[in-house]
Amino acid sequence: MRSKVSVIGAGFVGSTLAQRLAERDYADVVMFDIVPDMPQGKALDILEAGPVLGYDSLVIGTNDYADTANSDIVVITSGFPRKPGMSRDDLVKKNQEIVAQVTEQVVKHSPNCIIIVVTNPLDAMAQVALKVSGFPRERVIGMAGVLDTARFRTFIAQEVGASVRDVQAYVLGGHGDTMVPLARMCTVAGIPISQLMPADRIEQIVQRTRDGGAEIVKLLKTGSAYFAPSASVLQMVDSILLDKKMIMPCAVSLQGEYGFNDIFVGVPAQLGAKGIEKVIEIELTPEERNALEKSADAVKELIQVMGL
C-alpha cells in the first residue's frame, strides 16, 4: 500500500510541498485548507502534471479532515506568514489558535501519524502541537534547522565557489533572530571554513543566515519563503517514509539533552520510520553553549506568552 502524507494549509509552502511530494512518487498526498475549492483546484493541477512528469501519486484537495484519515505523516503549514518589519514572534497569538485547532482534527483522524510543524513562530507552534496532540515527542517534529542550514550552506558555497554538495554545516537553536549557526563545524569537502575565509567574512555570513527569512520577506513584500522551506520539509519526509535515518537539525522537544527539558530547540536528530529516533548531542564550546541558551530563552518567553 502507498504511504499517505497530508499537508494542512494549501498556501505557498503547503502547495509547493504537495507538488514536491507528488513528484517523489512514493506517497499519496492530501492537501487541506479552510478556503473552499482552492485546495481542490491546486491538487487537480498537480495531479494533471503527473502524465507529463511520470508520477502516479494520487493528489487530493479537500476542506474535510475525513480525507486526511490514517495519514502516515501530517505537515502543518496553516497559519499567517509575516510581513516586512514583523518578527516571526509577532504571529504567535493568531497562529497558536490555528495550530491548536488543526492539531486536534489531525489527531482525531490520524492518531498514529508523525506531525511535522512548519507554521511560525516554529518552536512555539511545535510546542502547541505536542501539547494538543498528546503524542510522544518522537512524533512531533519542527522544521527549521534544515532550512537555516541550507541558507548557511548556500552562502558558504557562493563565497568559496564550491558545490553546495560539498558544504556541511549545522544551524542549531530556535528558528528566530538568536539561531546558532555553528561556524566551527562548517566544512567544505572536509576543510574547516576557518582555513578558507577570514573570520570577519564568516561572521557576515553567519549574520546573513540569521536574517535569511527576513531577507526573503523584504523582497517578496507580501509573504515569506516557500521554495527552500518546502524542499527542507521534503528531506525530513524522505528520511521518515524511506526510513533513511538521516541526521539533520530539527526542532525537538528536549528531555534532558543539552541540559534542556520540555522545550523545543533545534538540534541534530536522526529521522526514521518512528520519527525522531535519536537526538545527537554535540560537544559545544562555552560560547556556543551561551548562544544556545540565549536562543532557548527566547523560545521560553514565547511559551509563557502563550500560557502553555
- Residue 77 sits in the site that holds ligand NAD (CB under 6 A): yes
Place of cell 558558504: 156
Q: How far is CA 196 from CA 23, 149, 156, 193, in A?
A: 37, 19, 10, 5
Q: Does 224 bind ligand LMR (CB under 6 A)?
A: yes
220 binds ligand LMR (CB under 6 A): no
- What's the grid cell of residue 43? 491538487
Has 175 been annotated as catalytic?
yes
Among the residue ranges 94-102, 129-137, 269-277, 294-302, the one whose residues contact ligand NAD (CB under 6 A): 94-102
Task: Show the cell assigned to 7.
Answer: 499537508
Q: Residue 11 annotated as binding?
A: yes
> 141, 115 in Cβ contact below 8 A?
yes
Total number of residues binding ligand NAD (CB under 6 A)?
Answer: 34
216 binds ligand LMR (CB under 6 A): yes
Burial class (CB in 10 A: 0-12, 13-18, 19+), 181: buried
Name which of ligand LMR, ligand NAD, none residue 92 binds, using a CB cut-off of 5 to 8 Å depending on partner kind: none
Q: Of 7, 175, 252, 295, which residue is the catalytic one?
A: 175
Q: Which residues of 261-270 are buried (b: 16+ CB within 10 A; e: fewer)?
A: eebbbbbbbb
Task: List the one residue from 4, 20, 42, 82 that touches ligand LMR (CB under 6 A).
Answer: 82
> Site residues (CB under 6 A) for ligand LMR?
81-82, 88, 120, 147, 175, 212-214, 216-217, 224-225, 229
User: Could you tell me which residues are annotated as the binding site for substrate?
Assistant: 82, 88, 120, 151
The residues assigned a catalytic role are: 175
